[in-house]
Structure 1
Amino acid sequence: MASSLLTKQFLGAPFSSLGSGQQPSKLCSSNLRFPTHRSQPKRLEIQAAGNTFGNYFRVTTFGESHGGGVGCIIDGCPPRLPLSESDMQVELDRRRPGQSRITTPRKETDTCKISSGTADGLTTGSPIKVEVPNTDQRGNDYSEMSLAYRPSHADATYDFKYGVRSVQGGGRSSARETIGRVAAGAVAKKILKLYSGTEILAYVSQVHNVVLPEDLVDNQTVTLEQIESNIVRCPNPEYAEKMIAAIDYVRVRGDSVGGVVTCIVRNVPRGLGTPVFDKLEAELAKACMSLPATKGFEFGSGFAGTFMTGSEHNDEFFMDEHDQIRTKTNRSGGIQGGISNGEIINMRIAFKPTSTIARKQHTVSRDKHETELIARGRHDPCVVPRAVPMVEAMVALVLVDQLMTQYAQCMLFPINPALQEPLQSSTTESAQVPL
């Protein structure tokens, strides 16, 4: 029955198929016309999108891995925020290549320049443009990639979708694109710190089969100094050495491994996030999973919570010494019903092994012939040590956007009294609104 319907033209069906009491005369009107041939289908135009993140605090990244440079445009930053290149450079230095033997040997200083949006060391409220030049390019390393697709990379899918791609270094799919995210994240971190004392810290909790036990890190007290004390960014020295050894093992063999980055957020204002489709953990998941090489996201108890009963998993409430409502445990990860509850937010992001490796692999050429490929270029044997500041940046961008969504009309920094009178407040000495 279904096949016969597909082969018949409904409007051109015999009139006898109509009910016996119906007359076909009106349907036979000379005014009724049918096309004698099908019209040509319209050409589908693919729009390149996905380069902007955020609603109130909006970040657009630009540039390719081996182009002239990379960077970002930050729109929606409040005026009068003290900001300089050094604020961003600290974070960029944490993600730059060539840091140690377990990262890519590409040598880039990743020196940033703010070319708009600030005056006399303060933000003006206009878009902030941040640029970082590419100085250590080796485009010839990617000549084979113009003919064959690298396994598990974005080469093939970019070609399938757009019909054109930047061969050198993967273009926009390269982790070098994240420079713009980290620069913007530095601004977001500063806003969060000034307004609510919010602190975002990420660290490596797994490399391949080396897993850092959760009870060895106290999320209440772990510091940036502990995280940055070794090249793998694991706050536990013993497990840091094991992780470095695991990376070294595959590095000298031209292979790669993946791992997990744990991120925590302390001093989070209550009430961030909204129910249903815009839950805070959903926004965080999208932000973190937009990073290159991500393959998994866990929040709070994550998948381990599936092994518990409700009585084991529930976070019971109590009143603390400051007469504040708190939870005895934090398996909810600091968010309940999609809204922050004031406890520490914690999440884990899984990163796959680096796709580009220096070992022979089977692939297919652009003209659809099976072949073999040994990829050249300089790549991280494990991306997780450099992914730490990237994760922090994306989490910061989500939280500052949520903060502005909630307090958009109130986000003002103190005005320089030498220029004009500050806004008067009956409860505070400055125009800054406490959260």
Structure 2
Amino acid sequence: MPGNTFGHSFRITTWGESHGKALGVTVDGVPAGLPLEPQMIQKELDRRRPGQSQVSTPRSESDSVEILSGIFEGKTTGTPISMMVWNKDARSSSYDNIKDVARPGHADYPYTEKYGIRDYRGGGRSSARETIGRVAAGAIAKEILAKYGIDVVAHVIALGTVCAKPLPLDMIKENLEKTPVRCADLEAAEKMLKEVEAAREEHESIGGMVEIIATGVPAGIGEPVFDKLDADIAKAMMGIGAVKAVEIGAGFEASHLKGSQMNDPFFMEGEKVVTSTNNAGGILGGLSTGMPIVCRTSVKPTPSISKPQQTVNLKEMKDTDITIQGRHDPTIPPRMVPVAEAMMALVIVDHMIRSGRIHPNSLLK
């Protein structure tokens, strides 16, 4: 099963299933000399962890990380870092009665067609729980980027029918963790919470939108043809389960603008070239401009809902109905925030290394 590795010079390979014994990741390409302790990884995993609020699944997991390799005396050695999290609260019996049935909105059917076999317990490898490895690896990437003054933050800007108003970056950072929906517009966040609860009472789920902003990225990062920075960001975000669309900067709105409206005028700010607007989202021709990189992802509603749905029994090849039991998130975007941050950080670190801005021993004192 290929397709479990992401990145070029900074590579991650995730492994494990939702209801298997454990999940984890191997990270290759981490520069030597980075101070790294388990609590730095745990901080990010705790943000992704289930069972924290009324907008997440009640599955209770500590998601405690174990670092197995690549660290000596509290610093990275430049060798592969392997990390693991044990599954402790999996209830596989909840899936016994639907093991042969294709859940609408899930990967059950195409997965079965491709491999002829699948781990039906909670989605197996296709489960959102796979993102544990991405977040753990992303925590390392964020630590590296911080050494270069680069910061990545994501937040929910829409949930169901509720949209947040635009806010300055400092307010986004200040308010982000004040509400379970991770929306910096606290007034909108209250409305989002009510919408989540209404969906739960109707045995439904809702989707939304997550915005990711990277600041401090120097100009000239990326590649101009097939490995464009925005192309790799789009791949990273589309590789997150439930993401159905990605836009950079003005995104889809760009198709409605004139050239004079879309173009970002350049001007000098001291000795630095900047733009007065940022419709390009910090990327031109696949290369960073030095302006904030702005990306938005459209996230579908959680496919696991307890309403009766029409489907097919794949073993008997006949029509049937399904009612999904178990513990599921009523909405995905709030818990996707640290995952989106991780994927953005992974792409930027990879391109920083590829461009020569970060060297294998660059963090050694």
Report the TM-score when normalising by structure 1. Answer: 0.82
Cα distance in 2 for partners of 1:186, 1:303 equals 30
Give the conservation status (yes or no) of the 8 Å contact 2:32–2:363: no
Number of the residue aligned with 2:159:
207
Paired position in structure 2 for 1:349: 297
Corresponding position: 1:183 with 2:157: no
Following superposition, the deviation at residue 124 of structure 1 comes to: 1.1
* 1:302 maps to which of 251, 255, 258: 251
Tell me how far 1:355 sits from its aligned partner. 0.6
Counterpart-to-counterpart distance in 1, 2:299 and 2:357: 34
Q: List runs of 5+ in structure 1 lacking aligned partners.
A: 1-47, 416-429, 431-435
Identity of aligned residues (%): 46
SS in 2 for 1:169: coil
Tell whether the 8 Å contact from 1:57 to 1:76 is kept in structure 2 after alignment. yes
Q: Do the aligned residues in 2 keep the contact of 1:263 with 1:392 (CA within 8 Å)? A: yes
Aligned-residue Cα RMSD (Å) equals: 1.2
Per-residue displacement from partner, 1:118-158 (whole Å, max 9, x unpaired)?
01111111111100000001000001221211011011111
**Counterparts of 2:302 and 2:181, CA distance in 1:** 16
Q: Does 1:389 align with 2:341?
A: no
* Aligned twin of 2:180: 231
Aligned pairs, how many?
Answer: 364
Q: Cα distance, 1:207 vs. partner?
A: 0.4
Q: Which amino acid aligns with 2:226?
A: F
Instruction: Tell me, yes or no, if the aligned pair for 1:102 and 1:251 is still in contact at 8 Å.
Output: no
**Alignment of 1:67 onto 2:67:** no
- Please tell me the residue identity of whatever aligns with 1:127: P
Contact 1:263 1:347 in 2 (8 A): yes
1:367-382 equivalences under 5 Å are 367-382=316-331
Instruction: Give the partner amino acid of 1:190.
Output: E
Cα pair 2:30 2:78 within 8 Å, conserved = yes
Relative to 1, partners in 2 of residues 1:116 and 1:325: Cα closer, same or farther, differing over 3 Å? same
Residue 79 of structure 2 aligns with which residue? 126
C-alpha distance in 1, partners of 2:211/2:176?
Answer: 11
Question: Radius of gyration: which is bigger?
Answer: 1
Cα distance, 1:313–1:116 mapped onto 2, change above 3 Å = same
Q: What secondary structure, in the 3-state scheme, does the structure 2 residue paired with 1:276 have?
A: coil
Shift of 1:414: 5.0
What SS does the aligned partner of 2:246 have?
strand
Residue 300 of structure 1, CA deviation: 0.4
Name the aligned partner's letter for residue 295 of structure 2. Answer: M
> Is 2:270 the counterpart of 1:328?
no
Show the counterpart of 1:57.
10
* Alignment correspondent of 2:168: 218
Q: How does 1:79-118 map to 2 (within 5 A)?
A: 79-118=32-71
2-structure distance, mates of 1:71, 1:97:
16
1:59–1:72 Cα contact (<8 Å) kept = yes
Report the Cα distance in structure 2 between the residues aligned to 1:409 and 1:296, rounded to whole angstroms. 31
Runs of 4+ residues deviating >4 angstroms = none
Q: 1:224 Cα deviation (Å)?
A: 3.1
- AA in 2 matched with 1:218: P
Tell me, yes or no, if the aligned pair for 1:81 and 1:413 is still in contact at 8 Å.
Answer: no
Equivalent position SS for 1:226: helix
How far apart are residue 104 of structure 1 and its match? 0.4
| Residue identity in the other structure for 1:197 | G
Secondary structure of residue in 2 paired with 1:168: coil
Task: Kindly indicate whether the alpha-carbon contact (under 8 Å) linking 2:229 and 2:288 is maintained by their aligned counterparts in 1.
Answer: yes
Q: Among residues 186, 191, 197, which one is paired with 1:248 in the alignment?
A: 197
Aligned-pair CA distance for 1:84: 1.1
- Structure 2 CA distance for partners of 1:159 and 1:349, relative to 1, 3 Å: same
Residue 206 of structure 1 and its aligned partner are, at CA, apart by 0.3
Q: Which secondary structure state, in structure 1, belongs to the residue aligned with residue 171 of structure 2?
A: coil
TM-score, normalised with respect to structure 2: 0.98
Query: Is residue 192 from structure 1 mapped to residue 192 from structure 2 by the alignment?
Result: no
Which of 311, 314, 325 is matched with 2:260 structurally?
A: 311
Q: Which structure has greater strand proportion?
A: 2
